[in-house]
Structure 1
Amino acid sequence: MSEAGVIHDIGYQRYEGQRLGRRAGLTALYVHGLRSSFGLGRSAKAKIFPWLVAGIMLLVAVILAAVRSQLGEVIFTYVQYDDQMAWLIIFFVAILAPQLMSRDIRSGTLPLYFSRPVRAADYVLAKFAAMVTAVWLLLGVPQFIMFLGAAFTTKTGARGVWNEFLDLAPGWGYSLLWAVLFSSIGLLIASLTGKQAFAAGGIVAVFLVTTPVVGVLSIIGSTTANSLAGLASPMTLIAGIGAWLSDGPVEMELPIGRFGPVYAIEAVCLIAACLLLLLARYRKVASL
């Protein structure tokens, strides 16, 4: 006895709505990455660390603004604020970069991202832009609070506010440099493993290992070698650029002499190299 076949209508239909394309995909990745940076849309546990770091940095800014408004004393300039908060930014990057990159590797969602129309370059650009924005906000918002404290207590009116803004603008630019350099390094390291703990440890290790190297090079070489010692660590690299642009002392007391442009060139090359390697890494993944 033969059984007759039965066709079931389970309601599959073709999608006839608007297809948004690459730009919408890139925007969605960027917004999701930025929200994830501060634990938005995730569990309460995921919000603890980023908001703890943000809270500490905001508290420091409020204290600096209060001291300046009450005593008229500038403890840190906008540029010096970035240097003082460096280690908090390092730990923030060490936690954030693995969340943006390593989780996708571990969960196996990359093939879904790289199905059309999103490309590997879109993925890298969106993640990089999200992380740069998050790090810049961590530095830029407290600097703005410091600016408000100074602007509302100035004794020279609009001219004083304008002069204060002229001090703030380079500070924001310096914060952007921190964000771009640290994000490029952090994302590259995080892209090499799907284990977040390993990625975080690797990011912190890069800064922990390179910082003592600067100290060693600064005491064993010639005057020229001492001036170039800061090139060995991302932290002193940025500090050297800040000192060159502001004609002020480097936070770690390393004289850069006439080699300020060398620091800037290395920073640009390092950022470009990290992004190119990151793009090559994900183009290889997308082609699999």
Structure 2
Amino acid sequence: SMAALGFLLLASLIGDPTIMRGFGLNRVNIYTKILGFFPRNALFWPLLTALVIGGMISEDRAHGTSAIYFSRPINRIDYAAMKYLSVASILGGVILISYVSFYSLAIVVEGRGWGYIFDSFPLFISGLGIAFLLIITYTSIGMALSSVSKGKFFPAVGFLSIILGTKLLAFLVDNLFDQSIVYLISPYDNLAHLGQYLMGIDLRYDHPVAFSVVSLLAINAVSLYVLSARVNSLEVTRE
């Protein structure tokens, strides 16, 4: 995820404008650092999430105990919140650090002035906002899957299947029947549609962005409901 920084430094050292256009600071590159499908949302973010969520709750469900203990008895809200924040902090750390590092280094390498920073800052904030939505959505789906399993394998594979499988299915149906509304089943495409709208990039979807927002809210609501219901049925003990 930090590879773009190396290309930025390389472009500044050799003075190649072609590399700078491909990896420098512009609207499309800011978008792709968060929502580009390959490699970030095809490999980096889904694989990282799958690795983290594997046994987050499923191991506790298998053994009947909580892996987190406080100096006082914990309730189910404490338990769910700490598990959720653990996943979100790891995923968020990687995504946000790479994103902020890219923006900061690009400004320095390209010698941008304060005027450009002020002009591009709203775009940067839009990217930051969509990054938080991506972190929340991926974490919610992953935690819901972990809460319904008793092993590490199912949550990880299930998460990859949801993110990549829905994307592939929607892509095939859209190409066959020219119906972009099928992308509403894909968490990634809902995020991408909203991101394109917020960042002023040409929309690649024909249906209204409001549909994607509603679908995104529904996906998160269902995921959090499943997580809540399963945690309520989980025995949380204190040693």
- Structure 1-normalised TM-score? 0.69
Out of 184, 190, 209, which is 1:231 matched to? 184
- Identify the match of residue 169 of structure 1 among 112, 125, 140: 125
- Residue 67 (structure 1) shift: 3.4
Question: Is this contact kept in 1: 2:142–2:159, CA < 8 A?
Answer: yes
Question: Is 1:241 the counterpart of 2:194 in the alignment?
Answer: yes
**Post-superposition offset of 1:114:** 10
Partner of 1:17: none
The answer to whether the Cα contact below 8 Å between 2:65 and 2:236 also exists between their aligned partners in 1 is no
% identity of equivalent residues: 18
Q: Deviations along 1:36-61, whole A, 9 cap, x unmatched?
A: xxxxxxxxxxxxxxxxxxxxx12233
Match for residue 7 of structure 2?
63
Per the alignment, in what secondary structure is the counterpart of residue 77 of structure 1? helix
CA deviations 1:171-200 (Å, max 9, x no partner) are: 111111111111101111111112112221
Task: Judge conservation of contact 2:60–2:67 (CA < 8 Å) in 1.
Answer: no
1:211–1:233 contact (8 Å) kept in structure 2: yes
Counterpart in 2 of 1:256?
206
The change in CA–CA distance for 1:65 and 1:275 in structure 2 (over 3 A counts) is farther
* Letter matched to residue 77 of structure 2: A
Long gaps (5+) in structure 2: none
For residues 102-139 of structure 1, what are the alpha-carbon distances to aligned partners after superposition, in whole Å with 9 as ceiling and x for unaligned? 23223432398599632112211222122222212211
Q: How far apart, in 2, do the equivalents of 1:217 and 1:187 lie? A: 28
Structure 2 SS opposite 1:266? helix
**2:167 maps to 1:211:** yes
| CA–CA separation in structure 2 for the residues paired with 1:197 and 1:155 | 47
Partner residue of 2:218 out of 262, 266, 269: 269
Structural mapping, 1:112-191, within 5 Å: 117-155=73-111, 157-191=113-147
SS of residue in 1 equivalent to 2:83? helix
| Most deviating of 59-68 and 99-108 | 59-68
Structure 2 CA distance for partners of 1:187 and 1:61, relative to 1, 3 Å = farther
Q: TM-score, length-normalised on structure 2?
A: 0.81
* Structure 1 residue identity aligned to 2:206: I
- Cα separation, 1, equivalents of 2:158 and 2:67: 25
Distance change >3 Å, CA 193–CA 132, structure 1 → 2: same
Superimposed CA distance per residue, residues 218-251 of structure 1 (whole angstroms, 9 cap, x where no aligned partner): 13446xxx2312112111121111122223235x
Which residue of the partner structure matches residue 227 of structure 2? 278
Q: Secondary structure at the match of 1:99?
A: coil
- How far apart, in 1, do the equivalents of 2:115 and 2:121 lie? 10
Residue 203 (structure 1) shift: 1.6
Aligned residues: 225
- Measured in 2, the distance between the counterparts of 1:184 and 1:190 equals 10
Taking a change above 3 Å as real, the CA distance of residues 201 and 171 of structure 1, as seen in their structure-2 partners, is same
How far 1:164 sits from its partner (Å)?
A: 3.7
In the TM superposition, residue 155 of structure 1 has moved relative to its aligned partner by 4.6
1:73 to 14, 21, 26: 21
Query: 3-state SS of the aligned residue for 2:2?
Result: helix
Alignment partner of 1:90 is 2:43: no
- Residues 1:208 and 1:147: Cα distance change in structure 2 (over 3 Å): closer
1:194 alignment partner in structure 2: 150
Q: Deviations over 1:14-53 (max 9, x none)?
A: xxxxxxxxxxxxxxxxxxxxxxxxxxxxxxxxxxxxxxxx
In our comparison, the structure showing a higher alpha carbon Rg is 1
For residues 115 and 155 of structure 1, the distance between their equivalents in structure 2, rounded to whole angstroms, comes to: 52
